[in-house]
Amino acid sequence: MLETPELSDWQPDRNLGLELVRATEAAAIKATPFVGRGDKNAADGAAVDAMRRFLSSVTMNGTVVIGEGEKDDAPWLYNGEQVGNGLGAECDVAVDPIDGTRLTAEGRPGALSVIAVADRGSMYDPSAVFYMDKLVCGPEGVGIVDIRNPIGENIRALARAKGVDVSDIRVAVLDRPRHHQLIADIRAAGAGTELIMDGDVAAGVNAARFDSRVDLAVGIGGTPEGIITACAVKALGGVIQGRLWPKDDEERQKALDAGHDLDAVLDQNTLVRSDNAYFVATGITSSGFIEGVKRHGPYLRAESIVLRSHSGTIRHVVSDMREDRWGV
């Protein structure tokens, strides 16, 4: 008779991703009635509540290390909260019930509900510096791109590695005043831009995918989002590189006092040390790789992606749910 392993011997297993997708589906479905209605707080509140309820049934002993509470002043899914049913693997859990609350509120594409999970203690602590300068691309960029190089040099190197003209390269960038010069430099190099309002997790995943029209995602965005993206990148075999970007002298000093090297390049294996990481996302509004929630007669259809780094598996999950029988 097989002995029951101690919890410390257990690791997140192959079934975990398919359990987690129920939580992202729930958050996406509950956020959908608020799409285009201009109230991002109501959308986020509904998604947070739904995700938390479904996470309570997942077989894991999870600790939220990147949560909703601190970022959006929400009462649940805060850093340090225990999630799951308390059995099975001890996990770091990163949640973003809506990556793109403004996209949801304004009815724009690219809003996702996201969960990332890895072995306990393996996710980078993002608390010292909220922003990070990031570069994300697919497997062709491994050993080729370097965030320390000028953007034009990285574009040309990636184009050579992919065997395409520079003019075929498309770069996703958050449309922010801080990126005006970066956008100009991308265009001066001969590449095209895809300017996004929000949702740099979706942009990073798109850049790392083998079948995407986006080749590269660059610019300054959230450090928590960088760690979540790293879980996806590890499964997709791509590249993420980041450097902490303090927003002011006070945050810079806080980072230095915490022992951070602000010149260090943080890659996917620094941001998530475990090779057993999961990335699960469900579309709220349609993005480049999954459709948003849609109604089909009496059914609600949700599309999701489930990535696991250990196996390199990419699963696309389409769920049709009877609205009169589905609930949170």
Could you tell me which residues are annotated as the binding site for substrate?
Answer: 99-101, 131, 176-178, 198-200, 222
List of E strands, 215-308: 216-222, 239-244, 266-267, 278-283, 294-296, 299-308
Output the six-digit token pair for 174.
């958050």
Residues 292 and 136: their CA atoms lie apart, in Å, by 23
Q: Report helix, strand or coil for 6.
A: coil
Query: E strands along 138-200, which residues?
Result: 170-174, 192-196
Closest CA to 82 of 98, 63, 69: 63
- At residue 186, the 3 state secondary structure works out as helix
The answer to whether the CB of 129 falls within 8 A of the CB of 224 is: no
In 3-state terms, what secondary structure has residue 202?
Answer: helix
Determine the length of the chain.
Answer: 328
Provide the annotated binding site. Answer: 44, 68, 96, 99-101, 131, 176-178, 198-200, 222, 225
* Per-residue CA distances from 243 to 129, 132, 246 (Å): 10, 5, 10
How far apart CA 62 and CA 12 sit, in angstroms, is 10
Helix (H) or strand (E) holding 10: none
The annotation places the binding site for Mn(2+) at: 44, 68, 96, 99, 225
Range list of β-strands (E), 107-158:
112-119, 131-137
Pairwise CA distance, residues 156 & 171, whole Å: 12
Q: What is d(CA 70, CA 193) in angstroms, rounded to the nearest whole number?
A: 32
How is the beta sheet containing 216-222 ordered, strand by strand?
192-196, 170-174, 216-222, 131-137, 239-244, 266-267
